[in-house]
Structure 1
Amino acid sequence: MRFAANLKWLFTELPFEQRFDAAAAAGFTGVECPAPYPFPAAGLKRRLDDAGLTQVLLNTPVPACVPGRAAEFRDGFDRALDYATTLESELVHVLAGTRPDGVEHHRVFAQFVTNLAWAAERSRGTGIRLVLEAQNERDAPGFALTTQAQAAAVAEAVGCDHVGLLFDVYHVQAGEGGLVHRLRTFLPRIFHVQIADPPARTEPGTGEIGWPAVFGALRDAGYRGWIGCEYQPTTAIDATLARLEELAR
């Protein structure tokens, strides 16, 4: 199991640019940087290289679902591709976004599919894969994607092999349940996994999920991707990583 530190959630007591060395010191070999855009990509690449880290994932800076913002989304997506190329990140999360007040869901969903289809064509042949994430309605009311089946249907409709799912264990458990069943069902489409334990979104082993079953399902299916640690730690992060490795065994 390859665990990546999400630098939005972990090491938040440090300035962002110092979190790379902290992640490496804690034992991580990869990082997720959802929004690296305030910092020059070349400088971040040097920090990754100096720390011996792999850049795993970044998000698009502009959500894809908002009608009237297609041009802004496209500019943002090109920026995400530039960062992903410089940082050698294999994955770009095409952030679906939240439905604006007063806008009907079918318009939001149609805009998301349209923008995703453009992004899939734009990124064809780059070696960069796109992932879609469903989020639960309690934490993200009005989010454009709320179920794994919905996200998988969109990825299938786009019809590109480099478009798949970001399976967020926390969101699936909080929004749908049937966690291991859904993991096994959608694993052929899953490019990336993120973890946290409900109800407080803390590290695995502090909440309601049976993690040996989750990691066992990933192991039995031969999952080879990264596992992003997107949680609020309740103890020293190096201790939580040791606990993760124990649960995964």
Structure 2
Amino acid sequence: MKFSANLGFLWADRSLPSAIHAAKTAGFDAVECHWPYDVPDVEVRDALQETGLPMLGLNTRRGNVEDGDNGLAALPGRCAEARAAIDEALAYAIAVNAANVHVMAGFASGGAAEDVFVENLRYACAEAKSHGITILIEPLNSYDAPGYFLRTTDQALRIIDMVGSANLKLMFDCYHVQLVEGDLSNRIRRLLPRIGHIQFASVPDRGPPDHGEVRYTHLFNLIAELGYAAPLGAEYKPVDDTESTLGWLADIKREL
């Protein structure tokens, strides 16, 4: 079983290149991030080469965060901004050899939002295809992101089917799915062929996966038994310095 450190939360007090080195020292097999755009891609690429860690993925920009944006791709009337964010994310992903780009939908609802989301995803998939990059979409729970367009795995699968591109996959975040839908084991069994990346955190506090209502040793064993071999993304919020929260990593690697 392999694990990826999500550097949007882990070692967030460090520069991105320094966080990549910290993830290597801690024993992670890969890294991923949220919005790396303030860091020159060459610095990230150098850190990845120095550590030998792959960059699994990054997100499109949220938009104008001060005005409440949390993604642009499902917002009617903002297609040009959404596609500029997609272009930017793909360019950065190409530069650092990232495998995936998560296209963030944003706060929206209704048929017009669905239509523009589908069209922007078709654009993203077409632009990403020749570079071997997978486009991901992720349902977010309504407690942390009330009003976010993409809310459930069923909705995400319907969107994926509408787009009709082989390089569009589901980002299955166990934390978000458990809060909204539950039944993680059966959902993973059913959805695994459609999943491009799996993330995790404790539920309900989004801390490290060593407490809460989800027994991750069971879930990780199931994922391995089903033949999923890609690194699983640790996207949790440390309550203290990141190193003090990493006991779960050694424990799980010892148990699995």
**TM-score class, shorter:** over 0.9
1:221 is aligned to 2:226: yes
Shift of 1:15: 3.3
Q: How does 1:113-128 map to 2 (within 5 A)?
A: 113-128=118-133
Between the aligned partners of 2:92 and 2:135, the Cα distance in structure 1 is 14
Question: Is 2:202 the counterpart of 1:197?
Answer: yes
CA distance in 2, matches of 1:148, 1:13: 32
Structure 2 contact 107–149 (Cα < 8 Å) conserved? yes
Structure 2: gaps spanning 5 or more residues: 63-70
The 2-side partners of 1:238 and 1:209 are apart by: 17
CA offset digits 1:117-141 (Å, max 9, x no partner): 1111222222001111011111110
Q: Which runs of 4+ in 1 moved over 4 A?
A: none
Q: For residues 236 and 254 of structure 2, what CA distance do their matches in structure 1 show? A: 17
The CA deviation at 1:226 is 2.0
Equivalent position SS for 1:219 = helix
* 1:210 alignment partner in structure 2: 215
* Structure 1 runs not aligned, ≥5 long: none
| Alpha-carbon spacing, 1:24–1:185, altered in 2? closer, same or farther (3 Å) | same
Residue equivalent to 1:240:
248
- What letter is aligned with 2:158? A
How far apart, in 2, do the equivalents of 1:35 and 1:122 lie?
A: 19
Instruction: Give the deviation of 1:105 after TM superposition.
Output: 2.5
After superposition, residues 85-234 of structure 1 pair within 5 angstroms as 85-99=94-108, 104-234=109-239
- Tell me the C-alpha RMSD between the 2 structures: 1.5
1:113 maps to a residue whose letter is V
Is 2:48 aligned against 1:48? yes
Residue 74 of structure 1 aligns with an amino acid whose one-letter code is R
- Distance in 2, matches of 1:216 and 1:96, equals 31
Which shows bigger deviation, 107-116 or 85-94? 107-116
Separation of aligned partners in 1, 2:226 and 2:203: 24
Aligned mates of 1:105, 1:246 — CA distance in 2 = 47
**Amino acid in structure 1 at the alignment position of 2:151:** T
The sequence identity of aligned pairs, in percent, is 38
Q: Cα offset for 1:89?
A: 0.6
Matches within 5 A, 1:15-94: 15-62=15-62, 63=71, 64-94=73-103
Q: Which amino acid aligns with 2:166?
A: D
Counterpart Cα distance in 2 of 1:88 and 1:237: 29
User: 1:31 Cα deviation (Å)?
Assistant: 0.6
Scaled by the length of structure 1, the TM-score of the pair is 0.93
Q: By how many angstroms is 1:225 displaced?
A: 1.9
Shift of 1:158: 1.2
TM-score w.r.t. the length of structure 2 is 0.90
**SS of the counterpart of 1:143?**
coil
Aligned residues: 244
Which range moved further: 58-67 or 164-173?
A: 58-67
- 1:7 corresponding residue in structure 2: 7
